[in-house]
């Protein structure tokens, strides 16, 4: 199993939008970076990832599971779509997407700032200066640490 982080602006697609989708499942479309696309091409059904809200209040908001492996991103073919790419066609697709299902929405999201300085997360791609990839790998150790922090935050909020 591999682990990932999926970034999205809350005004574009939030964890709440995913939760409201049929079966809490949606395509992760609109990725227009070759390195991020290539990461999606290596994803396998059952891989887990963090749902990350970028923007003004960056935070890890939940956990998703890859439920459909890489397939052509049809939004690139729609001139009315924000992610339209005239160089991508159904006969020669340039962009891919995966389908993800919400596994867990964090009751208390983990702010990016709270992850800085946490032992074991020093090399996490998300925390590197200038990291902009919308899809990025997470090591098993990083995934376990962040998941543990989320459980601690939830337990703290429940005890309050």
- Residue 120: left (phi > 0), alpha (psi -120 to 50), or beta? left
User: How confident is the model at residue 159, as a pLDDT?
Assistant: 62
Query: Are residues 136 and 39 in contact, defined by beta-carbon separation less than 8 angstroms?
Result: yes
97 pairs with which residues across the strands?
71
pLDDT at 155: 80
pLDDT at 160 over 60: no
Q: Taking CA 68 as the corner, what is the angle to CA 87 and CA 98, rounded to the nearest 5 degrees?
A: 35
Please tell me the total count of domains within the chain: 1
* Residue 60 in this model has a pLDDT that exceeds 80: yes
CATH, residue 19: 3.10.590.10
Q: Which domain holds residue 57?
A: 3-159
Closest CA to 64 of 143, 155, 156: 143
Q: What is the mean pLDDT of residues 8-25?
A: 96
Q: Tell me the per-residue pLDDT of 73-104, one tens digit each, with 9 for 90 and over.
A: 999 999 999 999 999 999 999 999 999 999 99
CB-based burial label for 138 (10 Å; 0-12, 13-18, 19+)? buried
pLDDT surpassing 60 at residue 31: yes
Tokens (6 digits) for 7? 């970034």
What average pLDDT does range 100-126 have in this prediction? 96
pLDDT per residue over 138-155, tens digit each? 999 999 999 999 999 888
């Amino acid at each position: 199993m591999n682990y990932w982080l999926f970034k999205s602006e809350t005004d574009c697609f939030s964890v709440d939008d995913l939760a409201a989708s049929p079966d809490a499942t949606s395509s992760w479309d609109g990725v227009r970076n070759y390195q991020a696309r290539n990461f999606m091409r290596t994803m396998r059904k059952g891989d887990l990832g963090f749902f990350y809200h970028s923007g003004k209040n960056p935070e890890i908001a939940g956990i998703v599971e890859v439920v459909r492996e890489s397939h052509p991103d049809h939004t690139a073919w729609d001139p009315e779509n924000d992610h339209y790419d005239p160089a991508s066609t159904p006969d020669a697709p340039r962009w891919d997407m995966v389908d993800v299902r919400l596994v867990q929405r964090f009751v208390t999201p983990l702010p990016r700032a709270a992850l800085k300085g946490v032992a074991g997360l020093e090399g996490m791609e998300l925390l590197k200066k200038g990291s902009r990839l919308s899809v990025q790998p997470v090591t098993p150790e990083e995934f376990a640490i962040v998941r543990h922090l989320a459980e601690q935050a939830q337990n703290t909020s429940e005890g309050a």
